Structure 1
């Protein structure tokens, strides 16, 4: 990992009504997951907390891929094995919420694909996820040197993802 910030990194919607803050430790773990995948796509879920007034979420955990996930050079299908148990445990013990999905595009852009859009629309509209506005985190490039992270917000009953703009806290 060439550069990982020590301070918190933030992403906000264009209208600045909702943001997401990334714990530096969680960001380092996300990049470690991407590094270990090599040239294959990988991913997992994001867990964290919402602010009291629900104007931002703080991500403090990016899980690795469940063991039943399918990885390819240009495809990733996140499995479900053990996730429900993990989410329930983190809710009971630490009041962490499922915030959304993350995945890695090896040596490629962090732009969402048509599949990414379709999956996020499904999650946003599925009551089982209990999150009408899930986040999507995409790592692109090379997690060992030059990488980028882009964050998107999905909305129930919308056909597009809203890109969030990065800003570093001071």
Structure 2
């Protein structure tokens, strides 16, 4: 799988990461399917409230409005535009999923919500400008796998 992150989303990420400083933040990723296995992150939500120095857990209710607005803007064209996954920052740690991160994502795709797959994007701002990142695919019935991040 491959994902692109649009320049607008990168600007939002940088601003949010700068504002959060050393506190973890995160949200949901909303994407556009370009072709099978190739997605573009076109929007995201940001939860600036619930993160701590070494922990972030997103409240699903807090991002429902962002998802609803996204679906309205994309005229409920779910085959092309849909929920893509989750993101959060690791300002003090490597940009790889922790054991807790992976367990949360496995629970998400093996849960009752009917989500077959989701990506987890982990980011950190280096030198107040560059976004260091990793992206992992969690797919029902499969082992987690690395997602290629393309320059968008």
Return the TM-score normalized by structure 1: 0.76
Q: What's the C-alpha RMSD, in Å, of the aligned pairs?
A: 2.1
SS of residue in 2 equivalent to 1:106 = coil
Give the direction of change, closer, same or farther, for the CA distance of 1:119–1:35 in structure 2 (3 Å limit).
Answer: same
Unaligned 5+ runs, structure 2? none
SS of residue in 2 equivalent to 1:98 = strand
Structure 1 segments (4+ residues) deviating >4 Å: none
Q: How does 1:1-170 map to 2 (within 5 A)?
A: 18-51=1-34, 53-65=35-47, 70-94=50-74, 95=77, 96-128=81-113, 130-142=114-126, 144-158=128-142, 160-168=143-151
Shift of 1:141: 4.9
Corresponding residue pairs, total:
147
Cα distance in 2 for partners of 1:122, 1:36 equals 30
Unaligned 5+ runs, structure 1? 1-17
Shift of 1:127: 3.7
Return the TM-score normalized by structure 2: 0.84
Give the direction of change, closer, same or farther, for the CA distance of 1:143–1:152 in structure 2 (3 Å limit).
Answer: farther
> Does the aligned pair in 1 maintain the 2:27–2:63 contact within 8 Å?
no
